[in-house]
Structure 1
């Protein structure tokens, strides 16, 4: 009797929910916003299409079919241009509940990326932005050089054996070891072994898939997480593994520092900001000077953020650079010519090209910029919530509480901004637009968002730029790369980061 009553109640609740959803979708003032029919009634349509791992391409197709604003779920809308009211500095549009999936369910656990509290995010960002600034890159360049040296040795070995390699994997090994060096003065060893050390890459991938999908039904995240974290190999278990790893590294550093004598501690506190000191040391120094400004949790939070977000974005971006240069030989030839001219003018320079010089090479920068336009690392909409009072966006008045977002892929492939050849890798478009310095250049810059927008722009973007500017010239001058895939169009999977599935190449030495 009791069981029958429970089942009847569940059925009745489900029917009422369906009726309510249909009623609101029919009577809603936003009913005129186009989109897939099933998306009017449930987020299930969006969930299934994100789960397929191909939503970046589907999102572009949706806007080509329906126009500048598309419904992908009840009260969930994708737009095709970065509205300043939504993403500009000082915007009151907070991040949506989708970002809940990227948090640990405990209320005292939060990190910078998913934080929905606008005020707290701004205050936290101020604490750390100097550590990620362009001026701070000088102190990290030594760590990047160390990893480039090992990476080039590996490429030389592969060029002799001529065996095909998964370049996306090796670029992630490079990016992961760089972040380990920058953060902890300790490479994880991915470059040395070419393998997933302690299962960290698998843990990170599983965590990404979990967060991407769990965020769509954010209300269920605490319940899902409690179950999933007990299952080995799950995304929740992967996140717990990464948290323990970071906590262990911090504990080891604290133990080392506790054994320093007074004079050694004073030297650390007085060290020049340009000295090659890692991220953890710099944070701990600030903590010891001002424990209220940078707490122990802040140190953990940023150490975790570096690991979770610091490798995939750079690895995906570097993969795009190398993939497109391999597909477009004339572009590669022009880049090599620029590098050769630079070397001729700086023949006394030893070692790798310094970052400041690489950053000043126009065609190299255009190549990197175009590669990130063609294949931005993130491939889902940057969801934001319409604040109290509503907002007029893309020709529609949206009510408070509606969720809207732009996908960087949609913005980057918009033909009204980047032209009819937006699907073509052509770095010259940036040089041409910059030379004219007209309205077209401003539009392109405003719609270029590989690292996000406004106050939520990726804090680590300059470190990623450092890694790319340093490595690309060395790779293209020392090696040739030949695609070894069934098709010249690679396969990708999109669970927030749009990662190549099998970017296989053969490495050949260049004389």
Structure 2
């Protein structure tokens, strides 16, 4: 976490642009699609930390070069066909491609725009002369990596690492941020409670170092923290199975022997709603479950639900981007609630959630109003 916190100033730079764009839309009372704008923020943060600067999602207010759509198309096709042995071959079948286009999908180009852009970014950096004036980023780290035998990692290896960072790190974070905001919009009493917490902090600290509330302060706010945890529990960014190979000696789970040749998996979405862990209301919104002493909640219960939460995976294969995702989420949600009152365009159903390995909260349309007490 200390490494990520040392980069908060870079996140601040992206955040300032995000708030400027959202402030302008709030002033004009424009409809804001939070699915899009949380994605633009998350992608510009990851590009800033990963390849040395934002790609321009926030500046232009669009899906630059169709990269986000390209990633979504790739996951849509691979998450469905990838579960059916042999079916990925259909992606290259001309008849299947024609039928896919008729249905409104472009399977033949799924992921292509993202791959083309990524290849050029990696190639340009690997061929560019060293620049001592440029602040090292994560792409520099990937290029400097060594194989076990001491050889430098080759071009495909660097592409894979950079692709994992940008392709997986941004979308999942934006899904998490929009899921938290979505639950708060659907539960306005909790939105107001978070506003009160953040307002109290701003009343005693002007956050000169960052300009907006920092992560260490935000994560200590009890109700904000509870709402973030509860939203990510109910709608983890990745809802499909997380596979694991069975050990060589096989394994027995709940009395059932599973041989070494098998692959086992579980869905964080299902595991996070286990009534044996979370109680009879496991599928219901209840941020108070994370606060000991609240309506009979015990310290033991809180420790237990924290221990068995699988939002970021579990054990040795916990998501390596967890810390960055949490810093972005806490800071964005806290500042958003402090800054705006929100009116959903469709109060009955503020957004709809679809799953294509990771979550996408679609049609999350709201109208923002800048709070009088936070206007500069």
User: TM-score over 0.5 for the alignment?
Assistant: yes
TM alignment of 1:459-470, pairs within 5 A: 459-470=320-331
Query: Counterpart of 2:252 in 1: which secondary structure?
Result: strand
How far is the alpha carbon of 1:449 from its aligned partner? 1.0
TM alignment of 1:232-381, pairs within 5 A: 234-235=106-107, 237-258=109-130, 260=131, 264=132, 277-285=136-144, 292=151, 294-347=153-206, 349=208, 351-381=211-241
When residues 359 and 179 of structure 1 are mapped into structure 2, their CA distance, relative to the original with a 3 A threshold, is: same
> What stretches of structure 2 of length at least 5 have no aligned partner?
none
What is the root-mean-square deviation in Å for CA atoms of aligned residues?
2.9
Q: TM-score, normalised by structure 1?
A: 0.64
- In the alignment, the residues of structure 1 paired with residue 25 and residue 350 of structure 2 have an alpha-carbon distance, to the nearest angstrom, of 23
How far is the alpha carbon of 1:250 from its aligned partner? 1.9
Judge conservation of contact 1:326–1:332 (CA < 8 Å) in 2.
Answer: yes
How far is the alpha carbon of 1:168 from its aligned partner? 0.8
> What stretches of structure 1 of length at least 5 have no aligned partner?
1-133, 269-275
TM alignment of 1:64-463, pairs within 5 A: 134-221=1-88, 223-227=89-93, 234-235=106-107, 237-258=109-130, 260=131, 264=132, 277-285=136-144, 292=151, 294-347=153-206, 349=208, 351-388=211-248, 390-432=250-292, 436-438=298-300, 440-463=301-324
Query: Counterpart of 2:265 in 1: which secondary structure?
Result: strand
Q: Equivalent residue for 1:98?
A: none
Judge conservation of contact 2:185–2:191 (CA < 8 Å) in 1.
Answer: yes
- In the alignment, the residues of structure 2 paired with residue 485 and residue 394 of structure 1 have an alpha-carbon distance, to the nearest angstrom, of 44
Judge conservation of contact 1:380–1:407 (CA < 8 Å) in 2.
Answer: yes
- In the alignment, the residues of structure 1 paired with residue 259 and residue 321 of structure 2 have an alpha-carbon distance, to the nearest angstrom, of 34
- In the alignment, the residues of structure 1 paired with residue 36 and residue 205 of structure 2 have an alpha-carbon distance, to the nearest angstrom, of 33
How far is the alpha carbon of 1:203 from its aligned partner? 0.8
Q: TM-score, normalised by structure 2?
A: 0.86
- In the alignment, the residues of structure 2 paired with residue 151 and residue 294 of structure 1 have an alpha-carbon distance, to the nearest angstrom, of 35
Query: Counterpart of 1:217 in 2: which secondary structure?
Result: coil
Judge conservation of contact 2:180–2:228 (CA < 8 Å) in 1.
Answer: yes
